[in-house]
Structure 1
Amino acid sequence: MALEEAFTEFTRRDWESEPVDGTVQLAIVGTGGFARNRALPAIADGRYCSVTTLVTGSPDSAHTLAEEFDVEHVISYDAFRRGSHANSYDAAYIATPNGTHGEFAIAAAEHGAHVLCEKPLETTVERTREILEACADAGVTLMTAYRLQTEPAVRRTRELIREGTIGEVVQIQGGFSHPLLEYTSPDTWRLDPDLAGGGALVDLGVYPLNTIRFLLDCDPTGVYATTYSSGGPFAAVDEHVAFQLEFPTEVTASCTASFDAHAHSRLEIIGTDGIILIASPFGGVVPQEMVVESGDMRMEYTGPPVDEVCEEFDYFGYCVLTGTEPEPDGRDGLIDLYAIEAAYESAQTGRRVELALE
């Protein structure tokens, strides 16, 4: 691929071979900040999904939200588990705390609904496997909500890597920090290890972890990690984490994540013949600023704004409507749980941990 041609039709949806008719009707399970502020507006702006049902712990207080987005049904979590109004939706988007993903994803599958579940799929490998088995038994689509896999800068980067634009990839560096307590209170579920499954690694570090796996199309073979917490509100989880991933291609990846540092994210791919740098890839609103060096050539590119959440829901809807298996499927989410558990084991033992993927 000629470098000057790399960004032609930057926003093209390479997963969309041709438009299809229809929409996937969704139940939104959990109406927290992300669902209200990002998911619902993105679905409204998209093509292949619509919302028919809100599932919440406080149905009485969700009617204003339902009116704003023209959602017909508002039901409780218990009602969802029982299958109430299951004929009103084709799929469920699970946006509850991590430790509750399994119960709602499995309930959705048992009622015949496809599942789009926020990352991580669950808090342990064992509980994640239960989701995969339930969806397989029910014959429904399961997608892990890795929206970066549908985002143009990341997809164009994967194309550049595959085309050999920077030679053979040697090393990748990714980092994501977010000052959590500037945006929420210390009693947030993200600082509860039972509900979250961990701290900065689970909530933030999973972004570079999964994105790197996606770019390399390869699973890690080993991990070495260190964590640190200063106590106080972070006493029960990792406040900061640094981890290194090893791959069978002999690529190494160095990643960091923090709950208590200046907001920042960065991804750099270093090859034998060049580099690719994506500015702020993980922060939720990607500026589409990229730098590519290939041999003696250097290009700086800024693409048009794209709502990656809208891309994610349209991708999911398209896969369901066409019977296509999504790339960020259940196994993709499961492999990340293997890596997360290995990273925590490494941090506890001070040793490199081999990933025994099954």
Structure 2
Amino acid sequence: MELAEHLSEFTQRDWQTVTDPDDRIRFALIGLGWFTEGAVIPALAESALCEVGTVVSGDRNKAARVRDEAGADRALTYDEFHAGEGRSNYDAVYIATPNATHLDFVESAADFGKAVLCEKPIAATTTHAERIAEACNDAGVMLMVGYRMHTNPAVRRMRELVSEGFVGDPVLVEGGMCQNVFEMISPDPNQWRLDADLAGGSALIDLGIYPLNTARFVLDTDPVSAQGTTTSSDDRFTEVDQHVSFEVEFEDGITAACVASQYAQQGSHFTVIGTDGRLTLDPAFFGEAQLAVRRGGAEADFSVEPVNEVAEEFDYFADRLLSGRDPVPDGEHALVDMRAIEAIYESAETGERELIKG
């Protein structure tokens, strides 16, 4: 079989079980920043499984505007959400507020018996992450964390090929993600991503989590130790890491070497190198992932129709909820990342390799 033919044997939505639901999942969108307005709401507009039921903001006027623009039923302030108003207008919540505030919204949603889709990282600290997972477990509600790469067809095909032994034994992973946060997100030097208390970090926790988590997903294994260094040369990054480089070792001896920066030319890549070949995503993490494969002297591209990763993520969540199946990136999954991130930050302070607490 030709290499290209082998690559083509893949179902794009291999995870989908629900195609014609009796009801769509109505979301309460909590946090109406640029990503929710510019990416999430348009994605839900094209979904067959999801819709906007309620919008929630700290700004009452903004909530009302977004409600009207998105065709939502209700607009709530944060206080009104926590008080339980409008609970009949949504089935699940999507949380896209600053990292340190996730816990309060998850706890309220769990008290209301609502399923939770929480943006990554799950929290600003491991302690908060543990409490989030516990709150959802205790309430018996589904918790999924927003790792969009899990539903990207190119990434899922990469995972399959690794599992099939296509590259032999995986040996090394290389990954990186860089952006200029003042151009991509906001020019404001006081934005919350640069506030250590609200964000928990910057380059590592916001961007480095992409190659870290994708490595875990593709290799289907977890890291056991880590080391890293962080630097912040720009005065706007006085509280958080501007650049990070880190290396993690996995349970089976594979290592991943990764870099991330919040103030650099935008770009991303991700490569798995094995004893018999290599798999590369370039670009990897900005919604345009395409897979290139090399084994021996043969090379081929796995080309897929462009997908809206946000729409795929929400539909996957809805599919799991409607079918009663557990999502893969749940709270326990996200906790592993938080513990690895904690170890990398500790290593940057101590200069030593740190074990990842289990």
Counterpart amino acid of residue 356 in structure 1: K
Moved more, 159-168 or 309-318: 159-168
- 1:10 deviation in Å? 5.2
Partner in structure 1 of residue 3 of structure 2: 3
Which has the larger displacement, 288-297 or 308-317?
288-297
Residue 93 of structure 1 deviates from its aligned partner by 0.2
| 2:327 match | 326
CA contact (8 A) 1:10 1:303 kept: no
Equivalence for 2:91: 90
Residue 290 of structure 1: CA displacement?
2.2
Paired position in structure 2 for 1:71: 72
Correspondence for 1:263 among 238, 262, 266 = 266
Distance 1:66 1:194 in 2: 30
Q: Which residue number in structure 1 is paired with residue 36 of structure 2?
A: 35
Does the Cα contact within 8 Å between 2:63 and 2:77 map onto a contact in 1?
no
What is the CA-CA distance between 1:137 and the residue it aligns to? Answer: 1.1
Pairing of 1:143-162 with structure 2 (within 5 A): 143-162=144-163
Q: What is the DSSP-based 3-state SS (H/G/I as helix, E as strand, rest coil) of the residue aligned with 2:116? A: strand
Q: Cα offset for 1:11? A: 5.8
Q: CA RMSD in A?
A: 1.3
Distance 1:347 1:178 in 2: 21
TM-aligned CA distance change 1:127 to 1:18, over 3 Å: closer
Give the deviation of 1:106 after TM superposition: 1.0
Which ranges of 4 or more aligned residues in structure 1 deviate by more than 3 Å?
none
| Residues 331-350 of structure 1: CA deviation (Å, up to 9, x unaligned) | 11111100010000000000
What are the equivalent positions in structure 2 for 1:216-255 lying under 5 Å apart?
216-255=219-258
1:165-220 superposed Cα distances (whole Å, 9 cap, x missing partner): 11110000000000112241101100000000001001100011111000111110
* 8 Å contact kept, 2:4–2:302: no
The 2-side partners of 1:23 and 1:7 are apart by: 33
1:249-278 CA-to-partner distances (Å, cap 9, x unmatched) read 110100000011110100011000000111
- Equivalent-residue separation in structure 1 for 2:183 and 2:18 (angstroms): 43
Match of 2:297 in 1: 296
Matched, 1:15 2:18: no
Q: Secondary structure at the match of 1:218?
A: coil
Aligned to 1:177: 178
What is the CA distance between 1:6 and its match in structure 2?
A: 3.6
Q: What SS is found at the alignment partner of 2:325? A: coil
- Pairwise CA distance, 1:231: 4.0
Q: Shift of residue 356 of structure 1?
A: 2.1
Q: Deviations over 1:308-349 (max 9, x none)?
A: 100000000010001110001111111110001000000000
Cα gap change, 1:9/1:67 in structure 2, threshold over 3 Å: closer, same or farther?
A: farther
User: C-alpha displacement at 1:62, in angstroms?
Assistant: 2.8
Q: In 2, distance between residues paired with 1:75 and 1:114?
A: 18
* Contact 2:18 2:319 (8 Å CA) reproduced: no
Q: Secondary structure at the match of 2:264?
A: coil
Q: Secondary structure at the match of 1:237?
A: coil
Pairwise mapping of residues 56-135 of structure 1 onto structure 2 (< 5 A)?
Answer: 56-135=57-136
Write the distance in 2 (CA, Å) between the matches of 1:107 and 1:2. Answer: 53
Q: How does the TM-score come out when normalised to structure 2? A: 0.96
Q: Which residue of 1 aligns with 2:197?
A: 194
Once the two structures are superposed, residues 273-326 of structure 1 have per-residue CA deviations (whole angstroms, 9 ceiling, x without a partner) of 00011111112x21x432101222211233211101000000000100011100
Asked if structure 1 preserves the Cα contact closer than 8 Å seen for 2:177 and 2:260, the reply is: yes
Q: Secondary structure at the match of 1:158?
A: helix
Specify the alignment match of 2:207 in structure 1.
204
Query: Which amino acid in the other structure matches residue 207 of structure 1?
Result: Y
Instruction: Please report how far the alpha carbon of residue 4 of structure 1 lies from its aligned counterpart in structure 2 after TM superposition.
Output: 2.5
Q: CA deviation at 1:248?
A: 1.6
Partner amino acid for 2:13?
Answer: R
Give aligned-pair identity as a percent: 45
Q: Which amino acid aligns with 2:105?
A: F
CA distance in 2, matches of 1:268, 1:6: 19
C-alpha displacement of 1:16: 1.1
Contact kept, 8 Å, 1:42 with 1:310, in 2: the verdict is yes
Does the 8 A contact of 1:20 with 1:321 survive in 2?
Answer: no
Contact 2:73–2:89 (8 Å) recurs in 1: no
Cα contact 2:213–2:337 (8 A) shared by 1: yes
Cα deviation, residue 43, structure 1: 1.0
C-alpha change, 1:137 and 1:300, in structure 2 (3 Å) is same
1:43-63: CA deviation from partner (whole Å, max 9, x where unpaired): 111121111100001122332
Q: Which amino acid aligns with 1:201?
A: L
C-alpha distance in 1, partners of 2:164/2:156?
A: 12
